[in-house]
Amino acid sequence: MPQVCDLCPVCPVQLSPFQNFDDNNQFRSELCIRCGTCVANCPANQLQLATVKEADYLKQTTVLEGYEKRTPVSAVIEKIEQISPSVREFTFRMETNGETGGKIEYTPGQFVLIKVSDEPEMYRAYSISSKFPDDPDRLSVTVQKKEGGYASDIVFRDFTEGMRVQLEGPMGRDLVVDKEAEKVLFIGGGIGITPFVPIVKDISDNPGKITNAVLLYGVNKEGDFLYDSFFEDAEKRSDVFEYVRTVAWPGEEWKGNTGFVTETLKNMDLTGCKIYMCGPPPMVKAVLKTLEEMQIEGRGVEEQNVYYESA
């Protein structure tokens, strides 16, 4: 299924793959030279070569759980907060009037699309990072400015308080926590910590059957932690939540865990655990490899109990 985001690689003939799909999920453009660049390099891993019949089968069998409430809405940027030199939190107040007025009724762990450009039409997916997920009129996303990042450049340069923005969502199911589980482990790395803000708030207030929830958060340097005090306060208030931090390259004053998240993970008891993870692709890959090794040793978790998204 096509993704309307800014992650597509540059097409050799300057096309936008997500804008030209017909009702049969076939890309239609007379200018397309059928080189396969978009398929081979799709970061979302969504594009593929398939016949009309194959595409129809995928369309009929694709599970839409987590996407069934997806709707476009108009929102106003109510607040912009500088979280760190390269990270900002944007809080949107959804409008209730007009053709695109409405609310995005999300579950912690889901994400939204934000329209960042009209010409060319372009959206960017961001995890919902709201500290108050029970507020039906507002939601927040946290954006990191990346060097050469087309969308983040626009967001940091052009988005201002009071500005009207098009949102679409909610979407995603991989990080929606199963509250029927007794033990859950959250693993966040870098900007991938953002979906765990509403998740931790929700678990702290309404744990369901969860009796033990651990957040393992890894950064490169101790000054890179985002929402650190929020997670510390959540740990103090909750009977089920534990906050664990690790720093890859710490300074002399750091007294906590050191190394990548995989080093701390190896010393954890994962028996009966469900794992939810979000972070940069190298971290996700390393954690999956570590979990596989632990499973072989008889102290890991089964593959079907590991859920993740890359940030």
Query: According to the model, what pLDDT value does residue 15 have?
Result: 63
Do residues 89 and 148 both lie within one domain?
yes
Count of domains in the chain?
A: 3
Q: Is the pLDDT of residue 212 over 80?
A: yes
Q: Are residues 103 and 162 in the same domain?
A: yes
Dump pLDDT digits (tens) for 41-61: 665 556 777 777 777 777 676
- Identify whether the C-beta of residue 240 lies closer than 8 Å to the C-beta of residue 210: yes
In a shared domain, residues 159 and 187: no
241/281 same-domain check = yes
* Domain limit, last residue, from 31, 61, 91: 61
Whether residue 276 lies inside any domain: the answer is yes
Q: Are residues 256 and 289 in the same domain?
A: yes
Q: Are residues 23 and 75 in the same domain?
A: no
Please give the average per-residue pLDDT across 82-107, as a whole number.
87
How do residues 11-42 score in pLDDT, each as one tens digit? 655 566 556 677 777 777 777 767 777 777 66
Phi/psi of residue 31, nearest 5 degrees: -85, -15
Q: Give mean pLDDT, residues 76-81.
A: 97
Confidence (pLDDT) at 241? 97
Residue 173: pLDDT over 80: yes
Considering the domain architecture, whether residues 84 and 56 belong to the same structural domain is answered as no
pLDDT digits (tens, 9 = 90+) for 117-140: 888 778 889 999 999 999 989 999
- Confidence label for 10 from pLDDT (cuts 50, 70 and 90): low
285 or 101, which is more confident?
A: 285
CATH code (residue 268): 3.40.50.80
- What is the span of the domain harbouring residue 199? 183-310
Q: Which of 52-66, 168-182, 208-222, 229-243 has the weakest average pLDDT?
A: 52-66
Averaged pLDDT, 228-236: 97
pLDDT digit string, tens, across residues 242-281: 999 999 999 999 999 999 999 999 999 898 999 999 999 9
The reply to whether 191 and 161 lie within a common domain is no
Query: Which residues have a Cβ under 8 Å from the Cβ of 123 and sit 6 or more positions away?
Result: 4, 5, 6, 113, 114, 115, 116, 168
- Indicate whether 82 and 162 sit together in one domain: yes
- Domain membership of residue 253 (yes or no) is yes
Residue after which a domain boundary falls, among 171, 206, 222: 171
pLDDT, mean of residues 281-292 = 95
Same domain, 191 and 301: yes
Q: What whole-number distance in Å separates Cα of residue 54 and Cα of residue 25?
A: 10
Q: Examine the domain organization and report whether 290 and 212 are in the same domain.
A: yes
Q: Has residue 2 got a pLDDT over 50? A: no
**Is there a single domain that holds both residue 198 and residue 301?**
yes
Residue bearing the bigger pLDDT, 62 or 93 = 93
Of 9, 31, 61, which residue sits at a domain end? 61
- What pLDDT score was predicted for residue 3? 47
Work out the mean pLDDT of the chain and round it to a whole number: 87
